Amino acid sequence: MIYWHSRNQNEQRSLLEISVYVEQAITDGVSGFVVGYRDQEFNYGQLGLARKFGDVAVGLGVGMANYDDQAHVLANPWVYYSGERYEAYLHAEHYANERQDPWWYKAYLLRKFNTLSVGGYYDTTFGLGPRFDASISDHWNAWLAIPIWLRPDGGVFNYSIGVSVDF
């Protein structure tokens, strides 16, 4: 996945994020995964296990993150749902060495309409607002989120766009 987070240039420079998630089945319903993430200010790597229960997947990853010139132990529980009409994701990250704000959250809920989806998006550092997704092909998706409420840091983020490839 590739994300572009537009920020208020008077506050901070915009972020280009690159994230790679690879999952491999271990047994029926259980899989292992590896995640790598990088932007201009932050990076992490993690390994984890996921379990599927029908349309719901639950996972837990552990790894290391680097930011503010410090290494942080990372725990990442998440839940993902993908049904015929709705898609939802709840993701939390806990940084063991972080004293001020050790938790970071991301969540979205989408209503699917064929190749388009509409819903809401929340990110601890971004805020809460509408999200619009479009399926470009069987494997390519693009999305746009605009923070309107709960904008931290004086509303630093203007919008976020992303592209994901599934194979």
Which pLDDT value is given to residue 7? 61
What is the distance between the terminal CA atoms of the chain, rounded to a whole angstrom?
Answer: 12
Q: Is the pLDDT of residue 73 over 80?
A: yes
Q: Is the pLDDT of residue 144 over 60?
A: yes
11-61 pLDDT, tens digit per residue, is 556 678 888 999 999 999 999 999 999 888 889 999 999 999 999 999 999
CB 125 within 8 A of CB 153: yes
What average pLDDT does the segment 140-160 reach? 80
| Of 12, 2, 40, 3, residue with least CA distance to 155 | 12
87-132 pLDDT, tens digit per residue, is 999 999 999 888 888 999 999 999 999 999 999 999 888 889 999 9
What are the residue ranges spanned by the domains of the chain?
Answer: 2-165
Which pLDDT value is given to residue 158? 78
pLDDT band at residue 10, thresholds of 50, 70 and 90?
low
What average pLDDT does the segment 68-79 reach? 92
Which CATH code for domain 2-165? 2.40.160.40
